[in-house]
Amino acid sequence: MTATHLLIGLGNPGGTYAGTRHNVGFLSLDWIAGELHGSFRKAFFRPYLYCPVRYHTTFLILAKPLTYMNRSGEAAVRLLRRYHIAPSRMIVLCDTMDLPAGTVRIKRGGSTAGHRGIASLISEVGSSDFPRVYIGIGRPAPDNTVVAHVLGVPNDTESGFIHQGIAAAGQAALKLTSGSLEQVMHEYNRKRPILKGAEEDS
């Protein structure tokens, strides 16, 4: 069966990084897998976890690179080749400090915006022509560093907003597989996305 899209979440593998702000891309894929009754598995001798799912009439591959954030492209290029998917049909879910916690923004493509995971994807894949679903994690407090912020776990107040954003990003990514980019951007590029279960969506 031929996959139509690759949905790739950016993050760092291992228990040390689970639940950190930098891993919201992984967590959003977990939301999608849960909604569509899929489960991740390890590919033999390949640097990623993958989860095949069906969404309406389409067949999708969800993937989490195991190469760490700054080398995400090494896994992505293997996945695109294995499943014969064009870069323009790769949908990337990742964090950004440029948005308040939990806010979702979809971009058509473009620059790295300083995100090293995106930079690795562009370098390895050889194209920046892929949509990104950004999940806001906010900026660090004045007494905190960027590294400590992105690799830290959100506090209780933040966590509620971020988990809403994780679900909204997952829902938006699914809609991108079957709807127009402009329509999905119009729906989700706002402060308070409307959430509902993936299986209820049409």
Tell me if residue 22 is catalytic.
yes
164 token code pair? 């809403």
- State the amino acid at position 84 in one-letter form: H
Q: Rounded to an integer, what distance in angstroms lies between the CA atom of residue 128 and that of residue 53?
A: 25
Alpha helices, H only, 46-155: 72-83, 116-125, 146-150
Q: Of 138, 150, 124, 199, give the one whose Cα is nearest residue 23.
A: 150
For 22-169, strand residue ranges (E) read 41-42, 48-55, 58-65, 90-96, 104-107, 132-136
- Dmax (CA) for the chain in angstroms is 51
Q: Given 5, 22, 115, 149, which residue is catalytic?
A: 22
Rg (alpha carbons) of the chain, rounded to whole number: 15
Evaluate the CA torsion angle 168, 174, 177, 179 in order and state its sign: negative
Beta pairing partners, 77: none
User: Which sequence positions are flagged as catalytic?
Assistant: 22
